[in-house]
Amino acid sequence: MLKDIKDAVEQSLAIFRGLGVTLRHILRERRVTTQYPEQRPPQAFRYRGIHQLRLDENGKELCVGCNLCGLVCPAECIYVEGAETDNPEEERVTHYERFARVYILNSARCLYCGFCVEACPTDALAMTPQYELGEYHRRDCIYDKEDLIKNYLRWKDQAGYGIEWCHPEKLPEWTGHAEPLTPPSHAAPAIGEHRQ
């Protein structure tokens, strides 16, 4: 009986302690919300967004339509049709006889693993940090070659987002607009860490 009363009192006091905790948080100014469209979350250095098809310094396409990316893709979201041409070099879209006649990437199926980028023999394919990929129609999720080249043109001046993605030793000094993700100080301990 006495113990019950003691428990009851303690538990009632616990409610007030809890109210104190919430009150402390209400009075404190700390806010963890990121105001998304105006404020961007810090992005990882190697963030894998939608792809780009790179051009070389002369404006020629690097892709030769070998379909290695399509073969390695686990989601089978890349379709490449290679072709050859007899045109003289200045009329070709690449430096070689081979080029990609069709290059289609379905961003709705892609799982952004980056295998295609690793597989590319000419470093033509790379990823960009772009993550706002929402569309109103599924057909708009199909990216053709022009779209992917547009992605390159859009991101080429952002140093660090090019082919360096798969060659870390070539990484230049960070100058991008976003900062590398730093784990917040209050983050949960990694698995096993608390056992020490």
Partner 1 sequence: MEYVVMAAKAVVVFALVSGSMPFIVWAERKVMADAQARIGPNRVGPFGILQSFADALKLIFKEDVVPTGIDKRIFYLAPILSIIPALITFAVVPYGGPDLKLFGYPVGYVADLKDVGILYVFAVTTLGVYGIVLAGWASNNKYSLMGALRSSAQMISYEILLGLSIMGVVIGSGSLSLVEIVQAQATPYFGVIPGIWLFAQPLGFLIFLIASLAEANRVPFDLPEAESELVAGFHTEYSSFKFAMFFMAEYINLLTLSGVITTLFLGGWLGPGVDRFPILGVLYFSVKTVALVYFFIWLRATLPRLRYDQLMRFAWKVMLPAALINIFITAYWVAR
Residues near partner 1 (CB under 8 A) are: 8, 15, 18-19, 21-23, 25-26, 28, 30-33, 35
- Strand, helix or coil for residue 104: strand
| 33 vs 196, beta carbon nearer partner 1 | 33
User: What's the CA gap between 99 and 84, in Å, rounded?
Assistant: 6
Least gap, CB of 27 to partner 1 (angstroms): 8
Least gap, CB of 65 to partner 1 (angstroms): 47
Show the tokens assigned to 33. Answer: 């919300």
Least gap, CB of 183 to partner 1 (angstroms): 17
Least gap, CB of 40 to partner 1 (angstroms): 16
User: What's the CA gap between 83 and 61, in Å, rounded?
Assistant: 14
| 35 vs 175, beta carbon nearer partner 1 | 35
Instruction: Return the ∠ at Cα 9 (arms to 3 and 12), rounded to 5°.
Output: 140
Please say whether the beta carbons of 181 and 44 come within 8 A: yes
| 187 vs 191, beta carbon nearer partner 1 | 187
| 31 vs 177, beta carbon nearer partner 1 | 31
Residue 60's Cα: distance from chain center in Å?
Answer: 26
**Unique residue bearing structure tokens 């051009």:** 55
